[in-house]
Chain A
Amino acid sequence: MVGFTKTSSALHCLTVYVECDDGSGGSGLACGETTEELIENALELSEVICG
C-alpha cells in the first residue's frame, strides 16, 4: 500500500494502491481528519478491494 498525501484544511487524503494475493487489485482515495480515520479508511479500501 503506497500513496501520497494532500492537505485541504483539516482533511488529509491518500491515494491507496492495493495488490491482492490473487493478482487482482485496485486503488482508491482514503481521507480523514485524524491519523486514525485516515488509516481506518485506507484499511477499508484494502478490505473492499481484496476481501
Chain B
Amino acid sequence: MILCNIASAQKYETIDTVDYSYYYNYEFQEDSTRQSSIQSCEMILQTGKTTSLFTSVSYLYVDSLLYAFKDEPTDVAAMKILPYIQGIRQHAYCKYHIYKNFPEEDVSTFINTVDGKNFRVSNENKMQWELVQNSDTVLLGYNCLKAKTRFAGRNYEAWYSPEIPVSNGPYKFSGLPGLIVFISDAQNQHRFKLEGISKADAGKPIVFIRKDYIDVSAKEYTHALNARMARLFNRVQQENNIQFNSEEAKARALDRLKSRNNFIEIY
C-alpha cells in the first residue's frame, strides 16, 4: 500500500493554456572533441499568458500519451503506449521541461528525471544581455537584431526580433525585447534556430507534473547527467539486461555513449 502511494505521488496540473507554439531546430555537437558529431532535435516553445514551456516535440508527444492513459493501471497503460512510441529516439541532451515564469514571475523551473530521480533546477531569469548596435539581418522573414550574453560557461550570440514581441526564446534564454530567432554559442557547438510559429495548439493546456522533486543546482544536475552516461556505458559493456544483435552494434552504442560529453551547460 505504501509503495502504491509513492508510485502515484504525482499530479498533473494545468498552469496555463497555449497561446503560440514556436518550433526550433536544436543542433549540437555531442562530442566536444569531434566537430562532426552533430545531432539534432526538434524542440518546441509553448507560450501562454503568464508562463511558457520549452521541451522536445517527441517528449511533449510522450507526455500527451502518459496524460491520456494516466487513469489506466501501469501494465495496461504501458502496453497501450508502446505501439505509439516505436521509432522515437530521445537524445539525453533534449530531454527536459523548462517552465519560465513558473512558479513565480522571473523564475524558471527546469525538471527532468535522471536514473529514477526527479530533479528540479530553479533559476532567476536574470540574463545580462549586451545589445549590439548597428547590427541587423532578416531571419525567417523577420527583421532581427543582435545581442550577446554569457551563460553557464559559454558565450552566446543571439538574433532576436522586436517584430515578435515575446521576451522569450529556446532553452533557458529570455529577457530580450523580442523573440530569439537564432542563438549559438561562440564555438558553434549548440545552436537553436526558429523554424516556424503555429497557433494550431492554441487553447491546449500547459501542464506541470507535480512530483516529489529533488532541488539541485544546475551544476549538480549536469553531474547527474554525466553519471547517467557512465552508468549506461557500464550497463552496455557488461550486457546487464541488454543485448545487441551484433558485436558491431554494441561497439557503436559504447562509442555513442562515450561521445556524449558536451552538455550545453559547462561547470
Contacts and interface: CB of A to CB of B under 8 A. Distances in A.
Interface centre among B72, B78, B92, B256 (most CB of A within 10 A): B78
A7 B78 contact: no
B253 A34 contact: no
B241 to A, nearest CB: 4
A39 B70 CA distance: 12
Contacts of B88: 43, 46
B85 interface: yes
A28 to B, nearest CB: 4
Interface stretch (B45-53, B134-142, B172-180, B242-250): B242-250
B36 interface: no
Interface centre among A1, A14, A39 (most CB of B within 10 A): A39
B66 interface: yes
Nearest to A40: B113
A17 to B, nearest CB: 10
Contacts of A7: 75
B152 interface: no
B183 interface: no
Contacts of A40: 113
A33 B88 CA distance: 22
Interface residues of B, number: 45
Contacts of A35: 66, 69-70, 72, 74, 77-78, 81
B258 to A, nearest CB: 12
Contact of B92 (A1, A12, A20, A47): A47
A47 B30 CA distance: 14
Interface string A22-46: 0011111100111111111011111
Given A38-B78, A39-B66, A26 B249 contact: yes
B10 interface: yes
Given A45-B242, A47-B90, A14 B249 contact: no
A27 B89 contact: no
Contacts of B4: 10
Contacts of A10: 3-4, 7
Contact of B248 (A24, A28, A38, A39): A24
B74 A33 contact: yes
B62 A43 contact: yes
Contacts of A9: 3
B79 interface: yes
A49 B249 contact: yes
A1 to B, nearest CB: 5
A26 B75 contact: no
Nearest to A50: B89
B164 interface: no
Interface of B: 3-4, 6-8, 10, 62, 65-66, 69-70, 72, 74-75, 77-79, 81-83, 85-86, 88-92, 113, 116, 232, 235-236, 241-246, 248-250, 252-253, 256-257
